């Protein structure tokens, strides 16, 4: 057995393994490093010291330990069937620790390198933050010299005496500037590729992340909402009053950490603001509004769920995490969107999800669905809880929604047209005046005629509120409502503005006043998208409420009247495919003058639009019968041919440009090599010019071989001996040789 004596290689391999273990700990919030790193160091020292011994007892102990680790792995596997990544990482760490006590050969060190790389890959799939990035860079910095030393060992360059090994180790230190330059180039190239690489939606497999099962004790009805922000002195204050009393609408202060609207009742007579903190991370195939719950009954100072007691519980199979839901029917075109939520801070037992969820993979055996399509858990959403939702989200087709009728079902009119009779006439009159003065108000650019459809009326009213009413800079500038004062009336006629959620309440009441069913929906905005992790970072301050409007046959669609918010909330039409480039361009555009930015946006926008239309037209050909398929294939073949021809000409031009810059002797030598390559005897990169010249005598006629030998000898003498060649004579012989062989 040939042992590996290089201390440098062993130390670097140990560093790779340690980096892989630390990466798993950072990504999964585990503590494997506390025992794995010290044992790996001890094992590496032991293995090096006894590398020339047979170590039969150690091998037996390692084999037994690996069998035990494998048994423990299968045991954990039964409890984590839906996500085995962490169990696999722990198994690999255990196997590597045992393996580190017997690594005499270079091949054994190679196994450890692969394990370190696998651990880094597992950590990459588990990571949800940029804390993984420094470890990745350290791993790369260690991997470059490791691969170099491993390759030298494979070539046998270090197999000599100890002095030879020490000399090579000194040489490794002297090459640190080279490794630093190589590291910089690799990182720069990797970031460049990452920036232009499209980030397409994942979830190609149907196994979705779910955290460890949670046992539920006692009966679960789904009627109660547990909001940690409303627990006062051991009692659950389910009225949603923050630090106020139990009476809905009583003045109070907003809780610092928890959104006041996640409850069965929503008191909008609260003042204050939350302290920002991350509450969850979302990986989704499309950007969207993470919907939590909706309210149907307006109370004058807030909202409540009138049918809070009427919920449906759904149980899952004990062998699966999957729970099937029954989303409302819609005739609109839909798209399946998969989302995975990881809770970072405590949340209520309300389950955020994109609209129209059809399946949920949740760790509890039962969940509940209320009449407003909100999902409820039997337990509060605690830190590290993970679940996955599959939603059948409808496309927002403005043309189709504009054709929707006003033939509302009876159950829709019963619950979503309610408005207090005290304010109904005034709100209706103002709403009708606003719509009647459509062109005079100059708020919308949709058209010059007054809006007729439900969709256009809603868009216009939302835009009107955005432009004509304001949000105070100080959260306490809006006075508390008096006992008999109505929120909507005070907003429209007294304060001319209010808090963000007040805008949504007002829009909902204005729509109801003219016979358009609407409700208030609360949830989280998409949050901040991190292109490096592919996740949306959602904070508690991203929670807000907006208006959902009902369209017969199409279902509920949201509108956002809050100033500085998009009028239409993000949905499946938005793409993060080139999100990195988009963020980079936004950063660059911030430094450019506005006219330059506008010009570049128009240019790139036109190019992108043209390319998109061309691609769509090309693929549409294949849906037009045999003639379309034939046309598409002919066009594709033509494009491929001209593309290949252009590529060949481009390479020839580059080669000609490169040759023109070479010294005369170098140019002649390279021309000779290109000619011999076309004759089937090209020079191997590992061959020296003189070695190649000796080989050609075995494959070419003596006259040809003699000329090749003379040019090679002259090239070596010029390149390495500094001698001036007789270029005229060599060119003459070369031209005569080409003429003879051309005939």
641 located within any domain: no
Give the CA distances from residue 111 to residues 86, 95, 98, 123, 401, in Å, rounded to whole numbers and listed in that order: 20, 11, 12, 18, 60
pLDDT over threshold 50, residue 12 = yes
- The maximal CA–CA distance of the chain, rounded, in angstroms, is 113
Model pLDDT for residues 28-67, shown as the tens digit of each residue: 888 999 999 999 999 999 999 999 888 899 999 999 999 9
Model pLDDT for residues 187-243, shown as the tens digit of each residue: 999 888 877 776 655 555 556 778 788 888 878 888 888 887 765 434 444 444 444
Cβ neighbours of 609 (radius 10 Å): 10
579 located within any domain: no
Helix, strand, coil abundance in the chain, percent, nearest 5: 50, 15, 35
pLDDT over threshold 70, residue 9 = yes
Domain boundary among 397, 412, 444: 397
Q: Of residues 202 and 450, which shows the higher confidence score?
A: 450
Q: Please, where are the H alpha helices in 100-131?
A: 106-126
Report the pLDDT value the prediction gives residue 163, as an integer from 0 to 100: 44
Of 122-126, 315-319, 620-624, least confident by mean pLDDT is: 620-624
pLDDT over threshold 90, residue 171 = no
309 is in which domain, residue-wise?
A: 228-397
User: How many whole angstroms separate alpha carbon 342 and alpha carbon 211?
Assistant: 9
> Residues 6 or more apart from 482 whose CB is under 8 A from it?
none
Q: Please, where are the H alpha helices in 197-256?
A: none
> Residues 6 or more apart from 328 whose CB is under 8 A from it?
356, 373, 555, 556
Shared-domain flag, residues 26 and 49:
yes
353 located within any domain: yes
Model pLDDT for residues 84-135, shown as the tens digit of each residue: 788 889 999 999 999 999 999 989 999 999 999 999 999 988 888 888 889 9
Shared-domain flag, residues 177 and 110:
yes
Mean pLDDT of 472-486: 84
Tokens in use for 270?
A: 């609260």
Q: Are 652 and 661 in contact (CB under 8 A)?
A: no
Q: Which residue has the tokens 């008096």?
A: 482
User: How many whole angstroms separate alpha carbon 130 and alpha carbon 533?
Assistant: 7
Mean pLDDT of 400-426: 93
Between β-strands 518-524 and 543-551, what pairing exists: parallel, antiparallel or unpaired?
Answer: antiparallel
Q: How many domains does the chain have?
A: 5
117 located within any domain: yes
Shared-domain flag, residues 601 and 555:
no
User: How many whole angstroms separate alpha carbon 160 and alpha carbon 471?
Assistant: 78
Domain boundary among 371, 397, 423: 397
Shared-domain flag, residues 327 and 441:
no
State the SS3 of 405-439: CCCCCHHHHHHHCCCCCCCHHHHHHHHHHHHHCHH
Q: Are 239 and 247 in contact (CB under 8 A)?
A: yes
What average pLDDT does the structure give for the chain? 85
Shared-domain flag, residues 387 and 248:
yes
Shared-domain flag, residues 308 and 377:
yes
User: How many whole angstroms separate alpha carbon 321 and alpha carbon 338?
Assistant: 15
Mean pLDDT of 619-637: 81
Mean pLDDT of 402-411: 92
Half-sphere exposure of 619 (CA within 13 A, CB side): 5
Q: Of residues 161 and 413, which shows the higher confidence score?
A: 413
CATH code of 529's domain: 3.10.620.30
Cβ neighbours of 642 (radius 10 Å): 10
User: How many whole angstroms separate alpha carbon 268 and alpha carbon 418?
Assistant: 18
Mean pLDDT of 551-573: 90
Shared-domain flag, residues 311 and 431:
no
Tokens in use for 322?
A: 């999957």
Q: Of residues 688 and 199, which shows the higher confidence score?
A: 688
Domain boundary among 353, 368, 397: 397
Q: Of residues 244 and 424, which shows the higher confidence score?
A: 424
> Residues 6 or more apart from 644 whose CB is under 8 A from it?
none
Shared-domain flag, residues 564 and 688:
no
Report the pLDDT value the prediction gives residue 488, as an integer from 0 to 100: 95
Proportion of the chain above pLDDT 90, given as a percent: 46
Shared-domain flag, residues 242 and 272:
yes
Model pLDDT for residues 492-504, shown as the tens digit of each residue: 998 888 999 999 9
220 located within any domain: no
Report the pLDDT value the prediction gives residue 243, as an integer from 0 to 100: 40
457 located within any domain: yes
Shared-domain flag, residues 555 and 689:
no
Mean pLDDT of 478-498: 90
Give the CA distances from residue 731 to residues 465, 725, 735, in Å, rounded to whole numbers and listed in that order: 84, 11, 6
* Cα angle value 540/542/544 (rounded, 5°): 105
Model pLDDT for residues 26-38, shown as the tens digit of each residue: 988 889 999 999 9
Mean pLDDT of 632-651: 89
Shared-domain flag, residues 129 and 191:
yes
Shared-domain flag, residues 77 and 58:
yes
């Amino acid at each position: 057995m040939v042992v590996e004596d290089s201390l440098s290689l062993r130390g670097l391999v140990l560093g790779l393994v340690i980096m892989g273990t630390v990466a798993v700990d950072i990504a999964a919030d585990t503590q494997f490093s506390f025992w794995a790193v010290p044992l790996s160091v001890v094992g590496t020292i032991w293995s090096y010291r006894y590398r020339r011994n047979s170590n039969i007892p150690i091998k037996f102990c390692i084999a037994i330990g690996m069998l035990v680790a494998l048994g423990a792995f299968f045991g954990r596997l039964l409890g984590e069937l839906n996500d085995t990544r962490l169990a696999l990482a722990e198994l690999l760490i255990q196997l590597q620790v045992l393996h580190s006590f017997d690594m005499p050969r270079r091949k054994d060190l190679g196994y450890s390198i692969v394990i370190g790389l696998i651990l880094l890959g597992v950590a990459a799939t588990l990571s949800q933050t940029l804390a993984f990035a420094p470890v990745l860079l350290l791993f790369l910095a260690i991997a470059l010299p490791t691969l170099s030393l491993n390759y030298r060992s494979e070539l046998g360059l270090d197999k000599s005496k100890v002095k030879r090994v020490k000399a090579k180790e000194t040489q490794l230190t002297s090459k640190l500037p080279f490794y630093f330059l190589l590291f910089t180039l690799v990182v720069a190239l990797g970031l460049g590729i990452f920036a232009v690489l499209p980030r397409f939606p994942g979830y190609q497999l149907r196994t979705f992340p779910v955290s460890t099962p949670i046992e539920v004790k006692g009966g679960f009805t789904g009627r109660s909402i547990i909001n940690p922000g409303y627990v006062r002195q051991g009692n659950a204050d389910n009225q949603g009053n923050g630090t106020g009393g139990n009476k809905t609408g009583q003045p109070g202060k907003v809780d610092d950490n928890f959104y006041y609207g996640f409850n069965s009742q929503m008191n909008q007579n609260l003042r204050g603001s939350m302290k920002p903190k991350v509450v969850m991370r979302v990986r989704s195939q499309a950007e969207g509004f993470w919907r939590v719950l909706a309210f149907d009954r307006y109370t004058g100072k807030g909202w409540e769920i009138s049918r809070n007691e009427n919920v449906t519980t759904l149980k899952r199979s004990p062998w699966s995490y999957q729970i099937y839901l029954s989303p409302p029917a819609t005739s609109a075109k839909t798209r399946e969107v998969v989302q995975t939520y990881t809770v970072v801070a405590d949340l209520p037992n309300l389950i955020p999800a994109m609209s129209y969820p059809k399946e949920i993979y949740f760790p509890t055996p039962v969940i509940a669905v209320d009449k407003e399509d909100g999902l409820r858990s039997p337990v509060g959403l605690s830190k590290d809880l993970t679940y996955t939702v599959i939603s059948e989200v409808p496309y927002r087709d403005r043309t189709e929604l504009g054709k929707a009728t006003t033939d509302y079902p009876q159950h829709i009119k019963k619950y979503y047209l309610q408005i207090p009779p005290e304010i109904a006439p005034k709100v209706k009159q103002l709403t009708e005046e606003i719509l009647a003065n459509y062109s005079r108000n100059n708020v919308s650019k949709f058209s010059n005629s007054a809006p007729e459809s439900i969709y256009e009326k809603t868009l216009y009213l939302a835009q009107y509120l955005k432009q004509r009413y304001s949000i105070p800079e100080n959260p306490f500038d809006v006075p508390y409502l008096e006992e008999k004062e109505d929120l909507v009336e005070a907003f429209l006629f007294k304060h001319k503005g209010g808090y963000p959620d007040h805008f949504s309440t007002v829009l909902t009441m204005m729509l109801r006043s003219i016979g358009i069913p609407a409700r208030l929906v609360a949830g989280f905005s998409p949050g901040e998208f991190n292109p490096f992790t592919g996740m949306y970072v959602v904070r508690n301050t991203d929670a807000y409420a907006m208006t959902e409007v009902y369209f017969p046959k199409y279902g509920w669609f949201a509108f956002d009247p809050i100033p500085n918010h998009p009028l239409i909330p993000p949905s499946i039409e938005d793409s993060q495919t080139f999100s990195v480039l988009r963020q980079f361009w936004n950063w660059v555009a911030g430094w450019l003058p506005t006219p330059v930015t506008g010009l570049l946006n128009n240019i790139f926008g036109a190019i992108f639009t043209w390319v998109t239309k061309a691609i769509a037209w090309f693929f549409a050909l294949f849906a037009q019968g045999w003639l379309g398929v034939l046309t598409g294939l002919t066009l594709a073949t033509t494009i491929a041919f001209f593309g290949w021809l252009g590529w060949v000409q481009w390479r020839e031009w580059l080669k000609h440009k490169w040759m023109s810059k070479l010294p005369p002797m170098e140019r002649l030598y390279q021309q000779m090599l290109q000619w011999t390559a076309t004759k089937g005897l090209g020079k191997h990169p590992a061959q020296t010019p003189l070695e190649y010249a000796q080989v050609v005598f075995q494959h070419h006629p003596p006259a040809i071989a003699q000329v090749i030998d003379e040019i090679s000898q002259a090239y070596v003498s010029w390149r390495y001996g500094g001698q001036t060649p007789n270029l005229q004579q060599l060119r003459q012989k070369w031209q005569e040789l080409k003429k003879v062989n051309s005939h």
